[in-house]
Structure 1
Amino acid sequence: MDVDHPESDQRWNAAARSETEAERLDRNWSNLLQELRVTQTGVQLLTGFLLTLPFQNRFTTLSSELRAVYLATVICSLAATVLLVAPVGMHRLLFRRHKLRPLVAIAHRFAFCGLLLLGAALTGVAIVVFGTVLGEDAGVLAGIVTAAVMLAAWVAFPLWMRRLDS
């Protein structure tokens, strides 16, 4: 039994979609690539933006706390970029090697971890920007709100939707 797709899912796919396991893997890979296309551009732009900030004049006015948040944000953004782009490199190395099942499974995990790191980076950006413009208390509040909204939209709501199907 495939861990990522319980037996009941496999039966449903075979009955409802009339697709083989290979067709399901192709569809899952295609869907994953579409999702990655959406996130890759955003995370790459965010990372590029973050990497330019230390070269701005006002950067030197950041408190040591906001600089620490900034560095943690850069680390999260860089790691998200690596994880969200990695499936492309993996595919190139595994192309024509009949490794679609493990590729889809690991790319799924990389994408999920990349999204979580992107959420952490966006939270850090909110803290740094609001902290710089309105003060550190406003930055912390903005970070909390950003994290809560992302966790609700990206994790809690989809998990709730999963339970409706159970």
Structure 2
Amino acid sequence: MSNERTTSDDQTRDQTNAPAPDGQSPHEPREFAGPGEFATLPKAEFMMPGPDRDRLVGLILDGTKTATAALLLDYTDCGDPLPKVGDQSVLVDSDDRGIALLVTTAVDVVRLGDVTDQQAIDEGEGDTTAAEWRRTHESFWNSPDYRTEFSNPDFPLDDDTLVVLEHFTVAAHLQTNHHHTESA
């Protein structure tokens, strides 16, 4: 999933605390009817299908992971719009099943050299400093599998590379169980 909403690193982040239309707090996940209810929403896909994606889905569902990051190039190279505060998407697991409704709460576009420790913590994947976060992300962004997806796989990655930082919340859980079950 590529994700961020503001186009300037000096813009104020929009954190919404407005109540949901049904009066429920936006911070309390709600159950919803099923996959068809949000069929027109984009998918929120973290990593490639497999154990890493399912681990991240678990971190999102338990509230540990509330942010993500993508290179601005991810959006510009394929012509995708930047995320915006209030955007909704359906979190999917490795079996492409809708697990939860995510709502974007903040988007910032910053220089790679300006990513903060707080972003590392909010991503919930174990990095606690910007330096750790950068090593982890650069390893992925420099991988051949990742770079071959771009029209110019030799793009530079340095302090001035723009990164989209997106924060989100789980607004609703699907009623389906996200854990895999063994068949008898």
TM over 0.5: no
More helix by share: 1
Higher Rg? 1
More strand by share: 2
TM-score, with normalisation over the residues of structure 1?
0.27
TM-score, with normalisation over the residues of structure 2?
0.25
Larger RCO: 1 or 2 (CA < 8 Å, sep 6+): 2
